[in-house]
Amino acid sequence: MTKHFFMPLAAALLMTSATVAMAASATKAADVLDLTNAQQMTAWKDIYMPSLNQKAPSGFDAVVGAVVPNGVAIAPVPNKAATAVPALRPYDFAMTEGKLVIVNPSDKKIAAVIAS
């Protein structure tokens, strides 16, 4: 076989690999997110700001599986944190009572809670 045959084949394989990798990284948020201690520390460092800390509404306990009430402000995970910990990319977050709360944006369920 000639070099002319292998070049298009190699290019096609490379493009297929890139497409598969991009699809794998475009994961959807789930209701439970299991982060390692290192990932939790990175998320805390990259996201937590005391100025964003909110008082929890009466009766609300920030635990995995709970639904974040409408009175709690949530925002998309910042790009810096999502780059450092790609698993965070599809999630939102809130900060309440000194806890970093990772939230599934589709149903507002808490997927992870990170405390200092």
What percent of the chain clears pLDDT 90, i.e. is strictly above it? 67
Q: Read off the pLDDT of residues 39-86 as tens digits, 9 standing for 90 and up.
A: 999 999 999 988 899 999 999 999 999 999 999 999 999 999 999 999
Task: Identify which has the larger pLDDT, 12 or 81.
Answer: 81
For the chain, give the mean pLDDT. Answer: 83
Q: Which fold has domain 29-115?
A: Nuclear Transport Factor 2; Chain: A, (3.10.450)
| Integer Rg of the chain from CA | 19
Q: List C-alpha distances in Å: 1 to 7, 8, 16, 26, 116.
A: 11, 13, 22, 37, 60
What global pTM score does this model have?
0.76
